[in-house]
Amino acid sequence: MFNPKKFIEEGVESIRKTLGKESAITAVSGGVDSFVAATLAARATSKVHIIYVDNGLMRKNETEKVRNAAKALGVELHVLDGRKRFIDALAGVTEPEKKRKIIGEVFVRMFEEEAKKLGVKYLIQGTIAPDWIESGGMGRDTIKSHHNVGGLPEKMHLKLCEPLRELYKHEVRAVGKELGLPESIYQRQPFPGPGLAVRVVGEITEEKLKIVQDACDIVETEIDQASTQGKMELPWQYFAALLPSKTVGVRGDERSYQYTVVVRAVRSLDGMTANFSQIPFDLLGKISTRITNEIRGVGRVVYDITNKPPGTIEME
């Protein structure tokens, strides 16, 4: 049986041992894994700099949310603006694995630049077991290169320290709870490291990112509300993605030719397998109406009824 208290004691000790007298940087993304890793790091040493990279691929108002969460936890957060760097590096790229590798590389280069300024040798990351398993760890096939494992560049000037490497999501949540993090963080639904880049299928543009950001916000808001009202069980993960092709529709009396948004909601324990959630039809109808009414450029909404396997949770 997993014992979060014992894990914390051992995790803190192992970070101390790994770092020795060196200092480290750690990056938070707003998700549970990186927050737990950063909190463990801050318990282990006062020589850790916590950073957040605004890469323009995050959820709506995420930067503000992360700032507020850090403030509430009393940790000092350094926000780096990487929006232009990420969008420029991704321009014209359509292949999912290439997108992931580019994102991993830009992250690391930004971490390295920051580390150089601060004279830091280590990067503490919130990598968890499914990240390296799906990235092809231990002789397995690569399903997708998680940005913090298979997406890392070959040459890196920072040494890695990964205290959560052997844990699964539910165990990380238990550690977060034991660490005293707010429930809004340790129970937060997972969000992929490469962010909305893997929810814009194919080429990324600022217009498409804005569409998917707004659509994710609608899906999250409506499903959170329905579950609070007891209309459905809260899925393990729920979001929207954007398909690259347009389809024909009608707006008023006129023909339209617009994008399709995919709504995805799944039940899972650890993200390794998943079943699509049985969302009430009236809620799906409300989500669809809101998306097509409120988001310019979207003319069709579909619900993804694929389990994992054979699908994966994210589209890319």
Query: Can you give the binding site for ligand XMP, defined by CB under 6 A?
Result: 130-131, 134, 143-144, 146-148, 190, 192-194, 237, 271, 308, 312-314
Residue 97 C-beta: closest distance to ligand XMP, Å:
11
- Token pair recorded at residue 191: 């969000």
Measured from the CB atom, is 22 or 220 closer to ligand XMP?
A: 220
- Choice between 144 and 300, CB closer to ligand XMP: 144
* Cis omega (within 30 of 0) for bond into 309: yes
CB 265 within 8 A of CB 306: no
CA–CA gap between residue 272 and residue 313 (Å, rounded): 9
Pull the structure tokens for residue 57: 């691929």
- Compare residues 45 and 313 and give the one whose CB is closer to ligand XMP: 313
List, in sequence order, every beta strand (DSSP E) within 205-253.
Answer: 237-251
Residue among 219 and 292 whose Cβ is closer to ligand XMP: 219
Report in angstroms how near the CB of residue 195 gets to ligand XMP at its nearest. 9
Helix locations, 52-91, DSSP H: 62-73, 83-90
Question: Which amino acid, 107?
Answer: F
Least distance from C-beta 288 to ligand XMP, angstroms? 23
45 vs 315 by CB, closer to ligand XMP:
315
Burial 262-296 (b: 16+ CB within 10 A, else e): bbbbbbbebbbebebbebeeebbeebbebbbeebe
Least separation in angstroms between CB 143 and ligand XMP: 6
Radius of gyration (C-alpha) of the chain in whole angstroms: 20
Least Å distance between CB 258 and ligand XMP?
Answer: 26
Which residues fall within 8 angstroms of residue 203, CB to CB, at 6 or more apart? Answer: 92, 93, 94, 244
Minimum distance between the CB of residue 316 and ligand XMP, rounded to whole angstroms? 8
- In whole angstroms, give the CA distance from residue 283 to residue 231: 9
**In the bound complex, what is the minimum distance in angstroms from residue 140's beta carbon to ligand XMP?**
13
Find the residue with minimal CB distance to ligand XMP: 193
Please state, in angstroms and rounded to a whole number, the distance separating the CA atoms of residues 227 and 235. 9
Residue closer to ligand XMP by CB (options 176, 271) is: 271
3-state secondary structure of 114: helix
Rounded distance, CA 98 to CA 50, Å?
A: 28
Minimum CB–partner distance for residue 147 and ligand XMP (Å): 4
Give the residues across from 241 on adjacent strands: 262
Choice between 7 and 238, CB closer to ligand XMP: 238
Q: Residue 147 or 208: which CB sits closer to ligand XMP?
A: 147
